[in-house]
Every structure is written in C-alpha cells, then in structure tokens.
Structure 1
C-alpha cells in the first residue's frame, strides 16, 4: 500500500467503522496486541486499515461448548479442559483469577445442589471479555432454597440468596459461593424457576425479571479481560480482620412486593438471617417509602435485640430517611422508669 494511501495512519473511529464494531472494542483489541497500531507524540492511535482487517480476520474469539454428566464431575478439571481448548492469551491475571473462581464455584454448585443429571457449559475467551454459561437440569436454585428454608415463594428465596451465607447443605458449604461470585464478576445473571436476577457490578445495580429457562438453573457471568480488580480485594470488602464473612450488602428493593414497605412482616423477611453478620449495609436505592411499623421493626426492635450487628442504611430519599430517623429516636420503653 502506498505511503500516501488514505487507508494508512487512520484514527480509531475510522477503523471501527470499517470493521463494523465500536471504538471501545478496537481500543481493547489494540491494548491486547491483537490489532497493530502506532501512537503519536500527542497520544493518538493510528492504524493501517489493511493490517487491521487482516488482524481482525485472524483474531478468533475462542468458544467451547461442553455437555457433561454431573455425577463425579470435578470443577477444577472442567476449568483445565476449557483452558486447554480456549487459552486465555490476552486476559490479565486478575481477570483469570476472577473467572476461575466464578466458574469453579458455579460448576460445584450445580454438582452439589442442583439435583440434576447433566451440566451444559459454554465458555467464550474473547480479546475483551471472558464469558461463561453454566446450566443444569435440576430443580432450580430458588426452589432448592425455598424448600430448605421453608420460604413462601421463589422471590423470597432469591432475596435470601442475595444476603450471603445461604446454603442448603451447611455441613458441606459455607453459603458464600454464589454471593461472592455475584460480587466478583462484572456481570452476573442467574435464572431459575421463572425468575431472573441480574447483578451489574460496573454500575452497582441489579434487575429482576422473568425467565423461561427450564428445567434447572442457568448462571451466566462476564469478566472484563483487562480488569485490574483483585479477587482478594473483593473478599476483603465483606470480611473482618479474622477473615470471617462478617459484612453483607442487602438491596432492600429485592424484598419489595408493592411500591413501598409498610408492615412489620415485610421487615422480618428482610431481617431474617442478618444476625449472622457484624455489619449490614441496607441499600434503599429506588425505595419510594417505608411505613412506621417497618422502620420501627428494623431500626429499633431488631436493632436492640441484636446490638452486635451494625445496620448501615444508605441511598435513602428524604421520606425514607425521616421514617428511619424517627424510629431510631424513639426511646425503648423498657428502659424508661
């Protein structure tokens, strides 16, 4: 190609348009060394379109699909097999550590808890993203928890799962796996029993919806291949000096069945099991209002019954903050003379 060709030394936006992808994706491929480029003194990337096309065609997003019997399945062997067939050439060590943790936890969860016969695993090792889908043909994660904890419905089971330390086999598991997996990866999607729970850690947000996946459970996660987040830092955010799982983060909205929280029974559902922690952040984001009975049950009655647990309400609107403030200001009649 001639030196003065308009296809030489073009900017990232031009290459993205030529290849039909986003500039962000091109930037990640360039950072990973997949697409050659130069950098000007001013810090701008320049590309040769012909070279970029060739490299893009050579680039292969590696995908592996497995269907395996759950009986005797070992999660570390599954990871080794996936890496042999789709090696992680461009991911950071931090991304690999998180992906390995998440995949082995989810496979082990299917083996020990699903009650199913087989697992279907789809693994994608892309230049910009690590992605996995783990499905089983069991009874469904939310049904398993509903039965084990005698809960009224699957949404209540989902809400309990989001607290952490929830397991249907306490003699074999600590109940931390799914909780930490949902916090460690960049995107987490759990589907079972007609429900879908999505956790977006990039935005620290979540979504609830309907799912048609059946039978069993489908767990999906994504990890940015260039992430610098360390797995140990994620653990540290929820553990104490003795490395115990002592902190929890609860999205109050998960426990909502209407447009607001009013009753003491709603409060009791929210509080169930939180005595296992030393500190609990109660995130009231997108909660429109709470009633006097709800606030009193959480922040006066339960708090006085469990003084060893620190409740930290966050992201309250003015109305919610007022009701919580009133509840914490009411003196305990038992201490009055």
Structure 2
C-alpha cells in the first residue's frame, strides 16, 4: 500500500486531513502513519496547521498562505523557552508561509531576543505574545507586567529618571544581567526593524528606520514593558549585514571528546535556550567539537551562550568548532573577543 499516495488522494478530495483519518482507513499505528506525513511535509507537498488534537494537514498554496495569520497567547513565565514559543507559532499559524529568508531570520532573532528579555529581566508571572501578518507587514508584540525595563535600568544603574535610563539603553551594550548577557539584543533589534517601540512606565522609545530617527514620547503609565516590532516582508534588511555594519572588523561589540553535527539537528541556531539544550549533558566530556557544516548563520544570543556563558560555567570542558562559514565564524569571534 502506498501510504503517501493515499494521503495525497484524500487531501485532494477533502482539502484537509488529520493523521487519525489515515490511521483509521489503513489500520496501521499512528506512529507509522506519522512517518509518511512527515516525509510529505519535508518534501513541501503538504503543510501542517495547528498542533496537538487540532493538528491537520493541507495542500500548499493559497489556503496555506492565508491560514491562521494571527496569534496571541499568554504564557506562564516559568521554565519558558523563547525558541519553543517561536516554534509553536510557526507550527500553529501560516505567518511564515511563505516568507523571504532574510525576513524569517530577522523575525527569529528579534522575537527570541525580545521574549528572552521579558523572561530574564521582567520578573513578571506571565508574558503575553502576539504576532500578525497583514498584507506586506509582520508585527509582533511582547508584553509583560513586571518591573519595567526603564525602572529596572534606573535601579541597577543607580540613575535618576527614565530619560537617563533610555540614554543608557541607547548605548547598545548595556544589560542588567552582565554575567548572562552582552546587552546587544535590543540594539540589534532596533536596527533590524522598520519600527520598534518600547513602552514602559510613562515613556515610549521609538526607533523608526523608515524615517531614520529615534523618538521619545510621553505615554499613559504602563506597568511592566510592552515591545512592538514591525517589518515589511519586502524589506531588504539582512541580519548578517546589520551585525557587520555595527561591529566592524574588531569583533568587539568515558570518551573524552564528542562531535555535535548541528546541521543534522534541523533547526536555526538563534537563541540562548537552543544553545543550552544542545549542550545539555555534554559537560561530562573534556572537549566538545561543534560541526557547523551546512549551518548558514547563528544568532548573537546562541554564540554568546555557547562560547562565553556556558564555557565560563564549565571550564573543565573545552568547546571547539569546525566547518564554520564566514558568517558563523564572525559571530563566534565577536563573542570570544
């Protein structure tokens, strides 16, 4: 029996289909049938929409492109991983179907950085995230009800007011958790967005790269922090180019060895939590060699977590790398500088 052909035949007839339907029709196990759905998905012949008991497959095309172009969730801020949240958004919506590669990478970086800030710094019990694709724009919002970014900077830096906090933030490498972050996430995100708005307490900090200007506005008092990001899907902005533009060439801004082939892990390497998951349990080895063969780029957060934060906490283990292309090596060297 050709299971793949059966799936495609049913899809052509019913427009959408669930794994359970093919399981029932064939009598095979769900695990076995899932393999064929996954193969067809990887080949681009079908598209997965939804998750868990709402997961269903449709044919690629207009419906896939327009299905579920908006999502909003309130997340409990406990053991929260920004990359897993992003993965769920990609799986549950059609926002990234299709999307130019440069825009997809920018959203990956900006969303995980902004959500990580809320997870790490806000001390908020919950974080609300939303994302929407509308016409040629993608927008996302990260909202917490914690201490507030400006108030947090005031307290940690012993500053006088919100304007001093904003001035400090605009320096680019400031962070209230220097042992865990380099503080560049907001800086680079502000350069990638068409428009980035950070609102907290009684101020809005607005980065408008269309007008090529930065604004500060008064606002109704807001507990916590709200970050709004937007970018045109037609934008030519490139993640690697922005990194290089604002850092220059100075890169300032019982076995004993294990090899980790990152390309075979089938993911983008953007966030800190991805780095922690990859390295989890590997501290028992004396040397870890990360093989970047086939990996196009890595995020600043990923590189910093691997080569600075994790390495500092595991000095008995040496991390090496090989087969890194120019973009990947650039980010690694910046971290090691």
TM-score by length of 1: 0.54
Does the C-alpha gap of structure 1 residues 229 and 145 become closer, same or farther in structure 2, counting only changes over 3 Å?
same
Q: Which of 156, 181, 188 matches 1:173?
A: 181
CA contact (8 A) 1:99 1:185 kept: no
Task: Find 2:113's aligned residue among 93, 101, 105.
Answer: 105
Partner of 2:90, secondary structure, is helix
Say whether residues 1:74 and 2:76 are aligned partners.
Answer: no
> Which moved further from structure 2: 204-213 or 152-161?
204-213
Equivalent residue in structure 1 for 2:246, among 220, 238, 245: 238
Tell me how far 1:241 sits from its aligned partner: 1.4
**Equivalent in 156, 166, 179 of residue 148 of structure 1:** 156
- 1:274-329 Cα offsets, whole Å, 9 max, x none, are xxxxxxxxxxxxxxxxxxxxxxxxxxxxxxxxxxxxxxxxxxxxxxxxxxxxxxxx
- Whether 2:148 is the aligned partner of 1:133: answer no
Distance 1:71 1:99 in 2: 23
Partner SS state of residue 240, structure 2 = helix
For 1:213 and 1:231, the matched residues in 2 are separated by 34
Return the match for 1:116 from 109, 124, 127.
124
Whole-angstrom distance in 2 between the partners of 1:94 and 1:115? 32
Q: 1:194 aligns with which of 202, 212, 229?
A: 202
Deviations 1:1-48 (A, max 9, x none): xxxxxxxxxxxxxxxxxxxxxxxxxxxxxxxxxxxxxxxxxxxxxxxx
CA deviation profile, 1:145-203 (whole Å, cap 9, x unmatched): 01111110011101110111110010000011111111111110000011001111112
- Residue 207 (structure 1) aligns with: 215
Q: Which runs of 5+ in 2 are unaligned?
A: 1-61, 254-337
Please say if residues 86 and 125 of structure 1, whose CA atoms lie closer than 8 Å, have aligned partners that are also in contact.
Answer: no
Query: 1:235 & 1:229 partners in 2: Cα distance?
Result: 11
Q: 1:144 to 1:237 in 2, by over 3 A?
A: same
What secondary structure does 1:96 align onto? helix
Q: TM-score, normalised by structure 2?
A: 0.54
Q: 2:196 & 2:212 partners in 1: Cα distance? A: 11
Unpaired segments ≥5 residues, structure 1: 1-54, 246-337
**In the aligned structure 2, how far is the partner of 1:237 from the partner of 1:213?**
36
Q: Deviations over 1:79-137 (max 9, x none)?
A: 10111122312321111111111000001000111111110111102341111000001
Alignment partner, residue 83 of structure 1: 90
Shift of 1:244: 2.0
C-alpha distance in 2, partners of 1:126/1:152? Answer: 41
Displacement of 1:242 in angstroms is 3.6
The Cα of 1:60 is off from its aligned counterpart by 5.7
Aligned length: 190
